[in-house]
Amino acid sequence: MEGVVPQSTGVNGGLAPQEPRRAVGIVPNAAHQAPRGLFDEGAYELAVVEFDDQGRCYERAQMDAVANRLDALAGADAIIVVFVHGWKHDARSDDTNLISFQDVLRQTVAQEVKAAAAGGWRPRPVLGVFVGWRGMSFYDRLGILDNVTFWDRQEAGRRVSVGSVRELFGRLRHYRNRRKDAGGAPLLVIVGHSFGGMIVYSALAQSLIEAATVPVDEVTPRFADLVLLVNPAVEAERYLPIYDLVNVRMQQQKGTDQPPVFVCATAKNDWATGLAFPIGNAFSLISESYRGREERQAMVNTIGHLPWMKTHDLVGSNVTPGYERIPVSPQANWSPFWVISTTPDIIDGHNGIFKDKFLSFVAGLVFEHVAYSMSKRPLRTMAQPR
């Protein structure tokens, strides 16, 4: 029956225990979580899928656990939130990104319960998928060794982006599209931070470009309901095709009323992508040719650090919901592709991405999609008995 959620097959008892790290060490090229990889946390389910430096699954059973759960959910709508971590992180149980991601899942459950009560539908189950890779290869307590791994981990992230993570994204897309075709209202949100943003963008770039090419009077098709990059370490030149397509929309003065399908949010004080990234990529100006100022700037800077690519400023506010989104470009009015610059009270530096005001902003985006997806459902599937 549509809407009936099958019982979780996840493991009870939480994530794998971890030995404390030493003062100095090498992070092994190995999985941190159990092969089963799917955990029943009561209010939500958490899957961990880990990839090695060549982009292959450490444990094939982790991928299979997600695939099996998606098959079990084939007759029910679910909210799926994917997070791909970045530089200096991995899938250890004590990793701050993994801990904060679980907080986000709990908040997502609470928001869905509230929205379902107001809308008269059964709360959808929440599945979180944490994508782990070797974002840290060396470490020390002073943070010297891990800082010099920037270029090494950048290359590892690029290999991950063309590896089996694409299978994972493909399975998630298949579940979402199958439910959409059946008149359902699933919700798929894919988030990438730092080099994780590069992984997400690289894996989904073709789909995003195709979405931007549809006729301007049509709703943009989507690989996911929302793709969110936070302080992404990806060259702006790779976003130029979408930027150009958005300019075409703007010139034709046609847009859509849908929520954004792509959001890139970058902190103004993110030195890693604002300073270290351009320095690390400066050699490309010597080894590659370019035409004009825009291409030159886009070759060495990230998407969020080019003022002419920006569509919005996101600034803190003392008034609920705690932030204000300010359009700063004509593109903001014609496109579901947003490039946002944030003040430090929203996102603080490279790693301060789980601040309350930013999470409030993301929650607003997600549940704008909730309302949008429910409004597009056929009348016969609008209400599911609770």
Residue 81 lies in a domain: yes
Q: Residue 384's pLDDT is what?
A: 43
Is-contact 309 330, C-beta < 8 A?
no
Weakest mean pLDDT among 23-37, 109-123, 272-286: 272-286
Q: Residue 1's pLDDT is what?
A: 33
Range with top average pLDDT, 9-23, 210-224, 247-261, 304-318: 304-318
In this structure, the number of other CB atoms found within 10 A of the CB of residue 271 comes to 11
Range with top average pLDDT, 43-57, 267-281, 366-380: 43-57
Mean pLDDT, residues 294-323: 92
Q: Residue 284's pLDDT is what?
A: 67
- The amino acid present at 29, given as its one-letter code, is N
The answer, yes or no, to whether residue 12 has pLDDT greater than 70, is: no
Residue 69 lies in a domain: yes
Q: Residue 334's pLDDT is what?
A: 74
* pLDDT tens figures, 257-268: 678 889 999 999
The C-alpha atoms of residue 305 and residue 238 are separated, in whole angstroms, by: 14
* pLDDT tens figures, 167-201: 999 999 999 999 999 989 899 999 999 999 999 99
Residue 15 lies in a domain: no
In this structure, the number of other CB atoms found within 10 A of the CB of residue 337 comes to 24
Residue 8 lies in a domain: no
Residue 316 lies in a domain: yes
**Total structural domains within the chain:** 1
Percent of the chain clearing pLDDT 90 (strictly above)? 59
How far are the Cα atoms of 176, 203, 213, 227, 339 from residue 221, in angstroms, in the given order?
12, 17, 10, 13, 19
Is-contact 255 331, C-beta < 8 A?
no
Q: Residue 4's pLDDT is what?
A: 59
Supply the range of the domain harboring residue 175. Answer: 25-377
Is-contact 226 261, C-beta < 8 A?
yes
Q: Residue 276's pLDDT is what?
A: 82
For the entire predicted model, the pTM comes to 0.91
Is-contact 241 303, C-beta < 8 A?
no
Residue 57 lies in a domain: yes
Residue 317 lies in a domain: yes
How does the average pLDDT of the chain come out, rounded? 87
Weakest mean pLDDT among 123-132, 330-339, 348-357: 330-339
The answer, yes or no, to whether residue 108 has pLDDT greater than 80, is: yes
> Where do the H-state alpha helices sit in the chain?
60-72, 96-119, 150-161, 165-181, 195-212, 240-252, 271, 277-280, 284-287, 292-300, 356-375
Residue 237 lies in a domain: yes
Of 280 and 17, the one with more pLDDT: 17
- Rounded to an integer, what is the distance from CA 166 to the centroid of its chain? 14
